[in-house]
Each structure stands twice: as C-alpha cells, then as structure tokens.
Amino acid sequence: MKNIAVVLAGGSGRRFGAEKPKQFLVVAGRTILEHTLSKFDKHPDITGICLVVHPDYMSEASLIIENAGFSRPVTLLAGGKERYDSSLAAIRHYNSVYASGVDINLLFHDAVRPMISADIITNLVRELDYCSAVCVAVPATDTLYCIDAGRNIMDIPDRARIWNAQTPQGFRLELITQAYEKAISDPAFATTDDCGVVFRYMPEQSIKIVEGDPCNIKLTYKTDMDRLEVLLEDM
Ligand SMILES: Nc1ccn([C@@H]2O[C@H](COP(=O)(O)OP(=O)(O)OP(=O)(O)O)[C@@H](O)[C@H]2O)c(=O)n1
Ligand SMILES: C[C@](O)(CO)[C@H](O)COP(=O)(O)O
C-alpha cells in the first residue's frame, strides 16, 4: 500500500494578513512548510509527498524542497482557488500516474499544521488498513451554538457528540476520486475539508475518526503564531 502525504499549501493567508502566505514564514529557523513536510518525510509509513502550492509560489516551494534535502520524493503541483481545488489537483495527478485498482492512500494535510505528530500519522495509516476514509479530530471543549442569519441561537448540540476536525484526512484514491467527481457536478458544492466531500457525496461510506491532539493547531490568525512558537520550542 502506498501512502502519499498531500500537503496543501496553496492558500494566500488572507485571515493571517502577513506579507506572504503564512506557510512561507520562518519559525525556529525553518519555514512552517518545511516543518510540516519534514514530519511526513521522517515517517516510515509515508511513501511519497505531494506538495500543492499557489502557482505564484512554485519556484519558492521548489527552492525549499531542494535545500531541505528530504529523503522522500516530493511532487510539486499548482493548486487552485479554493482548498478543495488544491485537493482536486492532487487527486487528478495521482489518477493520471497510477492505473485504477492500484492500492494507494492520499493523506490530505494542511501545510499550516506543523505540529502533526508521528503517532497521529501512524494511527491514521493503521486505520486505513481497515477503512477507506479516516479523519483526525479532537473532542470539542467549547459549547457550540448553531445560529441563524440574525445571530439568534437555533440549537445547542450535545457536546459529547461533537469533535473538531483536524488533518490529516486519509482516503483510498478510488474513494476520494469518486466523491469529488460527484461533488464537482453539483452546482451547490462547497466544502471546508475533504472528509466533508465523502460525507456528503458518498453517504453510504463510513468515516472513521482517529483522535488528534489539541497541539495539532492550524495557523489561521496572527495570534496562533505565538502558540506555535511555544510549541515548536518545546519539541
Ligand atoms: N486554495 C487553497 C486554499 C487553502 N489551501 C491550504 O489549505 C490549508 C488550510 O487553509 P487555510 O488555513 O484557510 O489557509 P488560507 O486559505 O491560506 O487562509 P485564508 O482562508 O485566511 O486565506 C492551508 O495550508 C492552505 O495553504 C490550499 O492548498 N489551497
Ligand atoms: C481542514 C480543516 O483544517 C479541518 O479543520 C479546516 O476545515 C480548514 O479550514 P480553513 O478555513 O481552510 O482553514
């Protein structure tokens, strides 16, 4: 079984608001992107890495890969407008490279989650031996409100059943391809993660959860950088 880590780095970091996309900022001597890539490069279960970046950042990413001296091959692809367009670029690439029926898992991961641990990757890959769709998530710690357009509370779901999605999210190539094929033919398609595509468009498919880690944070706003610096120092 091949396990390809698809590191999604095609975003522009609008909410973060730095001079360049947040994955290219340097922390503890290395770009965030390099920190993330190295976690997958070092993992024994990972057979290859696919890095998806914004078309304007292909040469910067190329240079990072060259200088990092990773031991795994890194395939560099241009991403698209939305996160799911970047996922699709990887899905299309692997369908063009491998004949159908080849056993291959794609593990989609946000480039801006550099604190991903080896244990989580191991647990996710292990689950993929039994299940075709696996997501990393952590139990919610805040109470959650469902609201309407006027910010009135419409529902307070039972927190015991609510988990926050993280990445990586892993799928058999064949499954995620089928799910995205259905999704892109739906004019109302929108999603904030890859699991959501399987959940909505392959409703018969079970999706297993592997417990993540609250430290596996996503760098979204500038204030997340302070926490990340502390976490990286402690490593
Ligand atoms: N078109 C896109 C958009 C996002 N991503 C990646 O998906 C991950 C999660 O996205 P997010 O945190 O939303 O990053 P940005 O899109 O860069 O941030 P923002 O939404 O604030 O612009 C990031 O690693 C980002 O680079 C991507 O590969 N392609
Ligand atoms: C995929 C994700 O990280 C799971 O929590 C999240 O949905 C990405 O959202 P973003 O708005 O693209 O950061």
Our measurement of the distance from residue 4's CA atom to the centroid of its chain's CA atoms, rounded to an integer in Å, reads 12
pLDDT at 235 over 80: no
CATH code, residues 2-233: 3.90.550.10
The whole-number pLDDT of residue 232 equals 86
In angstroms, the CA 207 to CA 198 distance is 8
- Give the pLDDT band of residue 225 (cuts 50, 70, 90): very high
Structure ipTM: 0.98
Q: How far is the CA of 99 from the centre of ligand 2 (A)?
A: 30
Percent of all residues in the chain with a pLDDT value above 70, rounded to a whole number: 100
Rounded to whole angstroms, the Cα distance separating 73 from 51 reads 10
Q: Whose CA is nearest to atom 11 of ligand 2?
A: 192
**In this predicted model, what pLDDT tens digit does every residue of 162-182 receive, in sequence order?**
999 999 999 999 999 999 999
Mutate to test the pocket of ligand 1, among 6, 7, 8, 52 (most ligand atoms within 8 A of CB): 8
pTM equals 0.97
Return the pLDDT at 109.
98
Rg (CA), the chain: 18
Question: What are the domain boundaries of the chain?
Answer: 2-233
Angstrom distance (rounded) from CA 64 to CA 178: 33
Model pLDDT for residues 79-124, shown as the tens digit of each residue: 999 999 999 999 999 999 987 777 999 999 999 999 999 999 999 9
Q: What is the overall mean pLDDT for the chain? A: 96
CA dist 152 and 221 (Å) reads 26
Alpha helices in the chain, H assignment, sequence order: 32-41, 58-68, 83-97, 118-127, 173-184, 195-201, 222-233
